[in-house]
Structure 1
Amino acid sequence: MNILILGATGFIGSVVAARLVADGHAVTGLGRNPTRARPKQPAIDWRRADLSHMTKADDWDEILNGQHAVVNCAGALQDGLSDNLAATQAEAMLALYAAAKRGSQPLIVQISARTAGAAGDLPFLATKRRADEALAASGLPCLILRPALVLGRNAHGGSSLLRALAALPLALPLVHAESPVETLSVDDVAEAVSRAVAVGLCGDINLAADEILTLADLVSLHRQWLGLLPARVFSLAPWLAKPVMWLADVAGLLGWRSPLRSTAMTVMSEGIRSVKGESGLVATSAAATLSANPSGVQDLWFARLYLLKPLVISGLSAFWLLSGLIPLLALQKTSAHFPPFMPESTATALTLATCLIDVALGAAVLVRPLAKRALLGMLAVSFAYLAGASLLEPTLWLDPLGPLVKVLPSILLTLTALATLDER
């Protein structure tokens, strides 16, 4: 069968795509940036597209041509610079259904979520519910699959945060530590999709393992999986998380997809539960999922670096912003190093220009779509500063305040940020 997968570069989508290829299907993968996915999964026909720009039925006609099934693994947690929930999770899906109805009417498999409960009115779940209801009423053959918290060999979103919390030293401070959480393996989702495609399984199915853990249990289980000694769990009052949620929401507006945003925390406040019916689908427990994928040192590195990454980015931003703003308070004094080599007016202009460059780089690194270019710019400017200062005034290397020596650790921090910048 010819199968189109939306969000094929994501955590769930990449596993579903691999499973369907192994089943012998011809898979087309849709993603916003499939450049790195293409060499990893060369058997897939990769197409670049942004669902938020595919909100009319005509946008889907070409890519749906010849497809026997469509699997929607795409989604976003919260509106921000990189995500538009209404367009991606609702309008694009309604356009897809309209195009499918007037075409070959392929099977639609929708990877959704439990949309009831206290968090049901949040845009994340409200847009999913709108798409689910439209799909159910469309008359198209369809399966709406509602998995609980999905665990897998790779980490993304909430599962990344679980690993990071599990790797904290000495103690595990948790908000909503007693919230109930149901889980399943990402391979269970792939199995459900594979079965739906093979036998035409349709309906609305909640999928989760037959166990209920608390968040504290799940974090402790991940700590054991990482090979770390047990640590005491401290339950924190929810209000203590509000400043963190606020910062995460601000970061989300700048394009960073933090699992600590208010939407995720609201969902976790009531737990992740499902109402399972008879579907014939079996889900794997959290312990079995983790034991089937033993951790390596790279998992421990990832867990320990995960919460350090935003500190590295914000620290670099503060360093470059202050490096540019502080000299502006005493511009003439700052430019005093240059007059022996150039006119005073030129020295002042050069100093002003370098300060503005520093400020621009410090601000740009906070914006996710600009972060990589800003980090590369920081490296280029740092090496230019070192080269220029070494040629014009090499005695600065001996300055007690170390204006040049301090550039070296900032270069290392920039390289660290570049190495950990990718999210998937």
Structure 2
Amino acid sequence: MRILLVGGTGLIGSAIYGRLSAEGHECVLASRHPVTAAGRHHITLDLARNTDSSEWKGVLAGVDAVINAAGALQGQDMRGVHVAGSAALYAACESMGVRRVILFSAIGVDRDARSDFSRTKQEGEAALMARDLDWIVLRPSVVVGRPAYGGSALLRGLAALPILPVMPDTAAIQPVHLDDVVETVVFFLRPGAPSRVALELAGPERIAFSDAVALLRGWLRWRPAYRLHLPSWAASAAYRAGDVAQMLGWKTPINSTAQAEMRRGATGDPEPWRQMTGVSPRELADELAREPASVQERWFARLYALKPLIFGIFGLFWIGTGIISLGPGWNIGMSLLREGGLQERFAAVTVTAGALADLVIGLAILWRPLSRYGLWAALIISLTYAVIGTALVPRLWADPLGPMLKIWPVIMLNLVAMAIREDR
């Protein structure tokens, strides 16, 4: 079959792509994120902007089935992704004769829509169900597999902490294994498979979110963590910090939308799913036992919580140096440049330019769309500072505070930030 896979670069979409490609299907990936891997037929498009059904007709040419695994938790145009763009896609499917459409929604949105995420997911389901199509709506709980992204990555990151923060008013979840989700998609793509059904994809075990974290901590071979029950004000502050990160372009599963969703929980009845498809949901503990954690998983878990600190502190470091250079450190900078033989006017221009460059670099590092360029600029300017400082004031290498020596740890942190910047 030729299958259009919308949102094919995410956790679920990538796994579906791998399985279907291995079985001989031709998958066309459509996502906002460009894909450079060889052998992948990819279309870069923003679902939130493709809200006219005519825009989809060229994409759907020759397509036998559509899988919509696109989603936006917060910080994006959720209505555009879940409703307007998706509805245009479904209308185009109907007019082009593409009968089979599989939509990934979220568990519980049909019962309790607590956030814009839930409400738009619910409206997206209705837009599909209103069409004369062979539709299937899949509502997974928290999806856990070998790869990690979003909520599953958060579980691993929290598992690495020696003190586990337990959020108040957090309901239970029923983690579902990624392979079971993919197997369900394969089932519904087979000839004669049922259609016009909505299924909850929930694991067999209902557990507290903190207990799921504890299971993963054991899988990562660390001793049980001390559980710290956060007061409501501290939990709210953490969610609001996530909102700020979203405003700066960073995708984080900790935000006010997640707060509302975690209060509802992610539970459901897996029995209809089991009876219809024959897929027997796996227990999280059993699957973790089958695949022991490697050192790569331990690295990822530890770096997950450090990543926002690395970018936050590194960006503020550059902003701080710029502010200090223009303020209390002005005379020190000027004296060093005069010592190096620069004239007063040229020294003032140099200090000002360097300070402004530091401010711009720091702001770029903090803002996700420009962070790559900010990190490259920081690396280049750090090396430039080392060269100029050596040429003008070589005695700084012998300074007991080590201003020249400390450039190299800064450069190493810069390289670490560049290495872990990617989210997918």
Residue number in structure 1 paired with 2:139: 146
Once the two structures are superposed, what CA deviation does each residue of 1:323-380 show, in whole Å capped at 9, x if it has no partner? Answer: 1111111535422222353321111111101100000001111111111111111000
Residue number in structure 1 paired with 2:54: 58
Once the two structures are superposed, what CA deviation does each residue of 1:205-253 show, in whole Å capped at 9, x if it has no partner? Answer: 1111222111122111101111112234333333321111111101001
Match of 2:246 among 252, 256, 267: 252
Rate the CA distance shift 1:138–1:372 in 2: closer, same or farther, 3 A. same
Once the two structures are superposed, what CA deviation does each residue of 1:151-174 show, in whole Å capped at 9, x if it has no partner? Answer: 0001111111111111212x4231
Q: 2 CA distance for matches of 1:234 and 1:362?
A: 33
Rate the CA distance shift 1:214–1:172 in 2: closer, same or farther, 3 A. same
Q: 2 CA distance for matches of 1:320 and 1:231?
A: 35
Q: 2 CA distance for matches of 1:134 and 1:73?
A: 15
Residue number in structure 2 paired with 1:311: 309
8 A contact 2:318–2:362 mirrored in 1: yes
Q: CA deviation at 1:277?
A: 5.0
Residue number in structure 1 paired with 2:324: 326
Aligned to 1:109, the other structure's residue is in SS state strand
Aligned to 2:66, the other structure's residue is in SS state strand
Q: 2 CA distance for matches of 1:175 and 1:191?
A: 33
Q: Which moved more, 1:138-147 or 1:265-274?
A: 265-274
Q: 1 CA distance for matches of 2:224 and 2:342?
A: 63
8 A contact 1:176–1:215 mirrored in 2: no
Q: 1 CA distance for matches of 2:53 and 2:382?
A: 49
Consecutive unaligned residues in structure 2, runs of 5 or more:
none
Q: 2 CA distance for matches of 1:239 and 1:289?
A: 36
Match of 1:161 among 154, 158, 179: 154
Q: CA deviation at 1:86?
A: 1.6
Aligned partner of 1:305: which letter? L
Residue number in structure 2 paired with 1:373: 373
Aligned to 2:118, the other structure's residue is in SS state helix
Residue number in structure 2 paired with 1:211: 205
Q: CA deviation at 1:117?
A: 7.8
Q: 1 CA distance for matches of 2:358 and 2:111?
A: 45
Aligned to 2:342, the other structure's residue is in SS state coil
Residue number in structure 1 paired with 2:220: 226
Residue number in structure 1 paired with 2:171: 179
8 A contact 1:332–1:348 mirrored in 2: no
Q: 2 CA distance for matches of 1:294 and 1:47?
A: 36
Q: 1 CA distance for matches of 2:169 and 2:178?
A: 24
Aligned partner of 2:25: which letter? H
Q: CA deviation at 1:175?
A: 1.1
Q: 2 CA distance for matches of 1:363 and 1:259?
A: 23
Q: CA deviation at 1:18?
A: 1.1
1:188 aligns with 2:180: yes
Q: Aligned residue pairs: how many?
A: 416
8 A contact 1:119–1:266 mirrored in 2: no
Once the two structures are superposed, what CA deviation does each residue of 1:147-196 show, in whole Å capped at 9, x if it has no partner? Answer: 11100001111111111111212x42311486311111111111111111
8 A contact 1:177–1:215 mirrored in 2: no
Q: 2 CA distance for matches of 1:117 and 1:88?
A: 18
8 A contact 1:3–1:26 mirrored in 2: yes
Rate the CA distance shift 1:382–1:119 in 2: closer, same or farther, 3 A. farther
Residue number in structure 2 paired with 1:21: 21
Once the two structures are superposed, what CA deviation does each residue of 1:102-152 show, in whole Å capped at 9, x if it has no partner? Answer: 112331100111244896141111111111001001121100000111000
Q: 1 CA distance for matches of 2:178 and 2:396?
A: 56
1:302 aligns with 2:296: no
Aligned to 1:322, the other structure's residue is in SS state helix
1:382-401 aligned within 5 A: 382-401=382-401
Q: 2 CA distance for matches of 1:206 and 1:26?
A: 27
Consecutive unaligned residues in structure 1, runs of 5 or more:
none
Percent identical residues: 35
Residue number in structure 2 paired with 1:75: 71
Give TM-score, length-normalised by structure 2: 0.93
Q: 1 CA distance for matches of 2:113 and 2:366?
A: 31
Aligned partner of 1:335: which letter? M
1:269 aligns with 2:269: no
Aligned to 2:291, the other structure's residue is in SS state coil
Aligned partner of 2:58: which letter? E
Q: Which moved more, 1:238-247 or 1:400-409?
A: 400-409
Rate the CA distance shift 1:237–1:201 in 2: closer, same or farther, 3 A. farther
Q: 1 CA distance for matches of 2:93 and 2:178?
A: 27
Q: 2 CA distance for matches of 1:312 and 1:118?
A: 40
Q: 2 CA distance for matches of 1:189 and 1:360?
A: 44
Residue number in structure 1 paired with 2:32: 32
Aligned partner of 2:336: which letter? H
1:111 aligns with 2:107: no
Residue number in structure 1 paired with 2:286: 288
Aligned to 1:307, the other structure's residue is in SS state helix
Q: 2 CA distance for matches of 1:344 and 1:183?
A: 66
Q: CA deviation at 1:70?
A: 0.5
Q: Which moved more, 1:133-142 or 1:324-333?
A: 324-333
8 A contact 1:375–1:414 mirrored in 2: yes
8 A contact 1:176–1:268 mirrored in 2: no
